[in-house]
Amino acid sequence: MSTHIESNLDSIASTVLMPGDPKRCEYIAKKFLSNAKIVNNVRGMTAYTGFYKSKKITIFPSGMGIPSMGIYSYELFKEYNVNNIIRIGTMGSYTDLKLKDIVLAVNSYTNSNYGKVLCDYSNNCIDSDKNINFVIEEVAKNLNLNLIKGNIYSSDVFYERDNDYKKKVKDMSVLGVEMESFGLFVTAKMLGKRASCILMVSDSFNFSDKLSSKEREQGLDNLIVLALETSLKI
């Protein structure tokens, strides 16, 4: 079985929501799931499985960065028969997006060689699953949420030297930056699984306001409900 996950096979649901932060998993499980139980606690990566409106859902943290996302998504897909993973996270805006705007990542661009090393995927861009994305869009409409679709930049380096984000916007039409989606999308495609990513703007390269660590952990309810409601339809 898995190297980094210690769960019974039937403890993990076929659809997984993946925040980066284990504390956000705890928040989601306690607030939104019924009969939630801890199903993994290796290396402090505490995951929960419970029920949302009678559907079994697992909330599993990815940790930070493409390598960490790559490990956990691979093992969930490969060893635990997971079919769908929706990343729910935060992003920094490169454009005029405002705090708490919700973004659906249609394509993920990267500076990482993760795809090349993993499965000889040499492109620097990969798309998310169109079928899940369609459901996310429909659910967002039903919830009266303003969902912004676009490309995201998935960086291997948080403190990029000489980060010319305006050039990235011009060259790749990216809305902003995060650090996990590319690893998730490549892994899903390699294994014939489905993955998507919805993000909330937590800070910006164009203005100084940003969400606090507490807000990042507990202030993403619209995003969380969007992902949970989507999980009922996939």
Can 156 be counted among the known catalytic residues? Answer: no
Q: What are the tokens at 127?
A: 């798309």
| Closest listed residue to residue 181, CA positions, set 70, 95, 57 | 70
**Residue 147: pLDDT band by 50, 70, 90 thresholds?**
very high
What distance in Å separates the CA atoms of residue 175 and residue 172, rounded to the nearest whole number? 9
Residues 26, 93: Cα–Cα separation, whole Å: 26
| Tokens read off for 34 | 């019924």
Catalogue the long-range contacts made by 62-65 (C-beta closer than 8 Å, 24 or more residues apart).
62/18, 62/19, 62/20, 62/87, 62/180, 62/184, 63/20, 64/20, 64/179, 64/180, 65/156, 65/179, 65/180, 65/183
* Rg of the chain taking only CA atoms, in angstroms: 16
pLDDT at 9 over 90: yes
Domains of the chain: which residue ranges?
9-231
Instruction: Check if the beta carbon of residue 121 is closer than 8 Å to that of residue 190.
Output: yes
114-131 per-position pLDDT tens digit: 999 999 999 999 999 999
For residue 3, the model assigns a pLDDT of: 80
Query: To the nearest 5 percent, what fractions of the chain are helix, strand and coil?
Result: 35, 30, 35
Residue 221 burial (CB count, 10 A): 13
The helix (H) or strand (E) run that includes residue 124 is none
Residues 6+ away with beta carbon under 8 Å from 65: 156, 179, 180, 183
| Dihedral pair phi/psi, residue 203, rounded to 5° | -165, 175
Helix (H) or strand (E) holding 71: helix 66-79
Q: Which CATH architecture has domain 9-231?
A: 3-Layer(aba) Sandwich (3.40)
pLDDT attached to residue 161: 85
Structure tokens at 187: 């892994």
**Beta bridge partner(s), residue 151:** 107, 174
- Phi then psi dihedrals of residue 230, to 5 deg: -65, -40
- Two structure tokens written together for 102: 């919700």
Residue 107 has pLDDT above 80, yes or no: yes
Mean pLDDT (the chain) is: 95
Share of residues in the chain with pLDDT > 70 (%)? 99
Write down the catalytic residue from 164, 203, 209, 221.
203
- pLDDT band (50, 70, 90) for residue 212: confident
Q: Helix, strand, or coil here: 35?
A: strand
